[in-house]
């Protein structure tokens, strides 16, 4: 398209040059040549600007939206959903700054991003989006169903999907229902404690054996319970850093879990009952 535009402009130059040559034939006066040149330049500039606008700023009938350096856990379904969110603000436009800004605001309003850094045109119908995604840290289930939350306890939009290989621990039986306002944190010391615990253990190789944190007893005894993928229940106890006087410290509980995993290949040692880690002197199985 760019080559076509330049060919048209070049053709205009040649036509104007022919007109100037004709004006300058004898018996033209001395002022004919500069006057003709001035008129030719003015006409050429006017025609060139109009021609470029008509070709470069044509409304697009289709647009491809690409998310630059999106995290691996972002699945194609989420990318397609976000592309469909931004597309109505771009289709039928010439992809100018205002159009791109409108698409950015629509993406921010989706609730899927911490920030949308840039939305820029990269080709005739290609738009690149550079953004910081809200990263799901856990799944939480209240009486309304399941939601994903980030590490601060802020719920992600309903329908937010991640790659199927992403391991997310489920927080079950929170004391409070989900927040009603967008970008609000989930209320309750139980959810805060669970997220702090997950942050403490999520780098360990055995983390994928933990599938749930049961919060049902937290209001009663401030205790967190880890549930493994064979439904073994590991009584963790108090939130990290808030242990009672004779309770095993968080770092020692992690050492025990790591030792179990090293010795048996599992943090529950294949025991399908309850394992109590709270006592600083022993581990009790039921």
Domain co-membership, 98 together with 77: yes
234 compared with 39, residue with greater pLDDT: 234
Each residue's pLDDT tens digit, 117-164 = 999 999 889 999 999 998 899 999 999 999 999 999 999 887 777 777
Q: Hey, which bits of the chain come out as E strands?
A: 64-67, 113-121, 126-133, 138-142, 145-149, 169-172, 210-214, 224-228, 233-237, 274-276, 284-285
The predicted pLDDT at position 161 comes to 74
CATH of the domain at 184: 3.40.50
Q: How far apart are CA 11 and CA 260, in angstroms?
A: 81
Radius of gyration of the chain (CA): 32
Each residue's pLDDT tens digit, 252-279 = 999 999 999 999 999 999 999 999 999 9
Of the candidates 192, 196, 198, the residue with the CA atom closest to the CA atom of residue 211? 198
CATH of the domain at 70: 3.10.20.310
Domain co-membership, 232 together with 260: yes
Each residue's pLDDT tens digit, 1-40 = 545 555 655 665 566 566 656 555 565 555 555 555 565 5
Strand partners, 139: 148, 170
Q: Taking residues 195-217, what's their average pLDDT?
A: 98
Buried b / exposed e over 137-170, threshold 16 CB at 10 Å, is bbbbebeeeebbbbeebbbbeeebbbeeeeebbe
Domain co-membership, 39 together with 69: no
Supply the range of the domain harboring residue 32.
Answer: 2-56
Domain co-membership, 21 together with 76: no
Domain co-membership, 149 together with 271: yes
The predicted pLDDT at position 48 comes to 57
Of the candidates 9, 128, 126, 151, the residue with the CA atom closest to the CA atom of residue 63? 126
Last-in-domain residue among 56, 74, 101: 56
The predicted pLDDT at position 196 comes to 98
Kind of pairing between the strands at 224-228 and 233-237: antiparallel
Q: How far apart are CA 93 and CA 98, in angstroms?
A: 10
Last-in-domain residue among 17, 35, 56: 56
The predicted pLDDT at position 130 comes to 97
Domain co-membership, 162 together with 87: no
Number of domains in the chain: 3
Work out the number of other CB atoms within 10 angstroms of the CB of residue 180: 6
Is-above-0.75 flag for pTM? no
Domain co-membership, 263 together with 143: yes
Answer whether 112's CB lies under 8 Å from 106's CB: no
Each residue's pLDDT tens digit, 65-110 = 999 999 888 888 889 999 999 999 999 999 999 999 999 999 998 8
Of the candidates 165, 75, 45, 67, the residue with the CA atom closest to the CA atom of residue 116? 67
Domain co-membership, 161 together with 228: yes
Domain co-membership, 222 together with 145: yes
The predicted pLDDT at position 77 comes to 85
Q: How far apart are CA 80 and CA 210, in angstroms?
A: 31
Domain co-membership, 124 together with 238: no
Domain co-membership, 151 together with 229: yes
Share of the chain above pLDDT 90, in %: 66
Query: What is the longest distance spanned by two Cα atoms in the chain?
Result: 116
The predicted pLDDT at position 158 comes to 78
The predicted pLDDT at position 111 comes to 84
Domain co-membership, 50 together with 147: no
Q: How far apart are CA 39 and CA 31, in angstroms?
A: 12
Each residue's pLDDT tens digit, 56-76 = 568 889 999 999 999 888 888
């Amino acid at each position: 398209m760019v080559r076509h535009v330049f060919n048209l402009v070049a053709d205009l130059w040649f036509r104007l040059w022919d007109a100037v040559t004709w004006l300058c034939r004898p018996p033209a006066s001395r002022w004919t040549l500069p006057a003709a040149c001035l008129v030719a330049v003015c006409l050429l500039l006017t025609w060139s600007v109009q021609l470029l606008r008509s070709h470069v700023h044509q409304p697009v009938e289709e647009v491809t939206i690409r998310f630059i350096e999106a995290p691996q856990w972002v699945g194609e379904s989420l990318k397609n959903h976000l592309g469909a969110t931004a597309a109505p603000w771009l289709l039928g436009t010439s992809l100018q700054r205002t159009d791109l800004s409108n698409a950015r605001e629509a993406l921010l309003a989706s609730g899927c991003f911490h920030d949308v850094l840039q939305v820029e045109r990269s080709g005739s119908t290609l738009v690149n989006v550079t953004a910081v995604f809200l990263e799901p840290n856990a799944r939480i289930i209240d009486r309304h169903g399941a939601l994903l939350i980030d590490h601060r306890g802020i719920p992600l939009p309903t329908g937010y999907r991640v790659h199927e290989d992403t391991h997310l621990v489920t927080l079950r039986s929170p004391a409070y229902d989900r927040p009603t306002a967008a970008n609000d944190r989930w209320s309750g010391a139980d959810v805060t404690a669970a997220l702090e615990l997950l942050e403490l253990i999520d780098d360990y190789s055995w983390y994928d054996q933990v599938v749930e944190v049961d919060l049902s007893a937290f209001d009663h005894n401030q205790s967190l319970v880890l549930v493994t993928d064979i439904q073994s229940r590991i009584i963790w106890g108090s939130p990290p850093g808030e242990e009672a006087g004779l309770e095993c410290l968080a770092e020692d509980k992690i050492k025990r879990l790591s030792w179990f995993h090293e010795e048996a290949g599992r943090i529950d040692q294949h025991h399908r009952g309850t394992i109590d880690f709270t006592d600083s002197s022993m581990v009790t199985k039921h």
